[in-house]
Amino acid sequence: MQALKQKIQAEGIVLSEQVLKVDAFLNHQIDPALMQQIGHEFARRFAGQGISKIVTIEASGIAPAIMAGLELGVPVIFARKYQSLTLKDDLYTAKVFSFTKQSESTIAISAKHLSASDHVLLIDDFLANGHAAKALIELIQQAGASIAGIGVVIEKSFQSGRAELDGRGYRVESLARISSLQGGRVSFLD
Ligand code: 5GP
């Protein structure tokens, strides 16, 4: 998605060879017009798939997910993060290791919002090593729901998440694919 790639080049900050900061437009200050285009693009790529719900993870996944939900006309659920959580019957839960915080937390979705009849599109802001996506997949599997695919705003293709999700047979659609952050520069795969 050209507008997204231009925005990354203009306003993204390479913090290290592993981390790109995009808090000027994606996950702190948000550019609503760009987010609308992102929602439109996800909806275009997953049109006609019978998606009934979008699932994301708080907080940074919410903005792109809600715009895609608006375009597809389906509800958006965000998994909540807890430092610790005693198991409850009415929750689906999974453990997730945070790439940015380098700590583990538990994420949960209330069972009343997701069921075996749902066909789910997963959305997140970044795909790095795939921990967030795999935890969301676990929650969806607990509900018995099926997965239409995974929509990612920015994929760092040099990390392991993409290959792992491909290997498990999931359809992954990334709107910008970064091949390298070396030398303080963002390089795209395509
Ligand atoms: P993963 O779980 O795939 O290893 O990492 C994805 C999650 O970590 C995303 O939800 C995102 O919030 C965060 N993340 C991963 N890489 C980056 C990055 O380079 N920059 C920012 N801002 N967040 C990232």
Q: Which fold has domain 2-83+92-188?
A: Rossmann fold (3.40.50)
- In the structure encoding, which two tokens stand for residue 8, read together? 């990354």
Beta carbon of 160 within 6 Å of any ligand 1 atom = no
Q: Is the pTM of this model over 0.75?
A: yes
| Single-letter amino acid code for the residue at 109 | I
Q: 132 alpha carbon to ligand 1 midpoint, in Å? A: 8
Q: 19 alpha carbon to ligand 1 midpoint, in Å? A: 8
pLDDT digits (tens, 9 = 90+) for 41-78: 999 999 999 999 999 999 999 999 999 999 999 999 99
Parse the chain into domains and list their residue ranges.
2-83+92-188
Residues 82-97, mean pLDDT to the nearest whole number: 82
